[in-house]
Amino acid sequence: MGIETEEVVGVLLAGGQSRRMGGGDKSLRCLAGRPILEHVLERVRGQVGRLVLNANGDPERFAAYGLPVAEDIVEGQPGPLAGVLTGMSWAQENAPDARWILTVATDAPFVPTDLVVRLREVIERDNADLGCASSGGRHHPVIGLWPVALAGALKAAIETDGIRKVDRWTAGYRLALVDYPDRPVDPFFNVNRPEDIKEAEILYKKYFT
């Protein structure tokens, strides 16, 4: 099968409402003097051919990053599956040569720099339809490699069947999992609450400087 970097669009998921953080954009909170989004970009950019930010509201708050911003194409902010579909649709319109999208949460500052390579390997090994990440035995369904060709099926699942949970949708396909160790640092550690930023600061200073 083979998956080349140029065939992958990176979709940075920033469409959540950040309730546990007290609202606002988690990705723009600072970690080690820089917005979390910058850390994510630094680790993802080299793995994909193009990048798009999935975010709702005024796109100007992300203007400094020079990224295209795609708002959810499904109304009502139904969750991360809407972000996946939005990324697929954006790729179809703006990167017609892309066969895959890589979705990454923008509150995960330590996301692996070999994510696409590892996901590609397990998809090919298992002859799977798509792949998602896990660490320490826990699944991270929004961190995944998805074929753009499934856009129509995902749209119908969301709009017609009312499916909202990623796991429920992927259960209908051959899903490959790539498992990372969660020690000494869980690469999918995500910043959901104010206290998580403090923990992320400690981890960053100890392992990433």
Average pLDDT, the chain: 93
Domain ranges of the chain: 5-207
State pLDDT tens for residues 75-108.
877 789 999 999 999 999 999 999 999 999 999 9
State pLDDT tens for residues 17-26.
544 444 568 9
pLDDT at 78: 74
Asked if the model's pLDDT at residue 60 lies above 70, the reply is yes
Question: Measured between alpha carbons, how far is 77 from 162 in angstroms, rounded to an integer?
Answer: 13
Task: Return the CATH class of domain 5-207.
Answer: alpha beta
**133 strand-pairing partners:** 140, 178
Contact 104, 113 (CB under 8 A): no
Question: Measured between alpha carbons, how far is 92 from 192 in angstroms, rounded to an integer?
Answer: 31
Question: Measured between alpha carbons, how far is 117 from 200 in angstroms, rounded to an integer?
Answer: 25
Q: Kindly report the CA angle at 94 between 96 and 78, in degrees rounded to 5?
A: 105
**58 strand-pairing partners:** none
3-state helix, strand, coil in the chain (%, to 5): 40, 20, 35
